[in-house]
């Protein structure tokens, strides 16, 4: 990167002049604005997550990972035995809902998450794990849409199980 103005040894010769006081003050104001309401938003997201997880648990055999553990309010990881995460991701996508498979630290990998393995989950459950994150724009309507898509996926899975055992 070549500087447009010469000088500024205090800025590693990238910028001449004094410190960017305006930028520093602006950054401080942005941080203050971002922190205002952060606690309220975390409480709101926690309520939405709990509502989502309660609806997920209505499916027979549904598992919400780390349920009851201290964790961030915006993320949930869940499955039902026999679910293939790829199938769930496609099903949710068709319903207009973005989800991921596995834990965040294994995103984009084919193998089951080493974190889920370390938590004592078997390969089948780890391969069926679906992760969903909530954000500042997530609403009750979004939760209801997600639960509707989940019920459709879970019903199809359970119907398939009944056919296979009949």
Q: Please list the active-site residues.
A: 105
C-alpha torsion sign, points 82, 152, 107, 139:
negative
How big is the chain, counted in residues? 166
Find the radius of gyration of the CA atoms of the chain: 23
């Amino acid at each position: 990167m070549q500087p447009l103005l010469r000088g500024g040894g205090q800025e590693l010769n990238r910028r001449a002049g004094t410190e960017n006081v305006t930028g520093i003050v602006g950054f401080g104001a942005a941080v203050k604005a971002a922190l205002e309401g952060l606690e309220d938003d975390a409480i709101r997201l926690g309520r939405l997550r709990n509502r989502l997880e309660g609806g997920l648990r209505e499916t027979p055999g549904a598992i919400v990972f780390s349920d009851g553990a201290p964790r961030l309010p915006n993320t949930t990881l869940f499955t039902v035995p026999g679910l293939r995460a790829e199938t769930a991701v496609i099903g949710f996508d068709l319903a207009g809902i973005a989800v991921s498979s596995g834990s965040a630290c294994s995103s984009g990998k084919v193998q089951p998450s080493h974190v889920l393995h370390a938590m004592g989950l078997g390969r089948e459950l780890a391969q069926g794990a679906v992760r969903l994150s909530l954000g500042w724009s997530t609403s009750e309507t979004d939760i209801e849409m997600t639960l509707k898509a989940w019920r459709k996926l879970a019903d199809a899975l359970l119907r398939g199980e009944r056919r296979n055992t009949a």
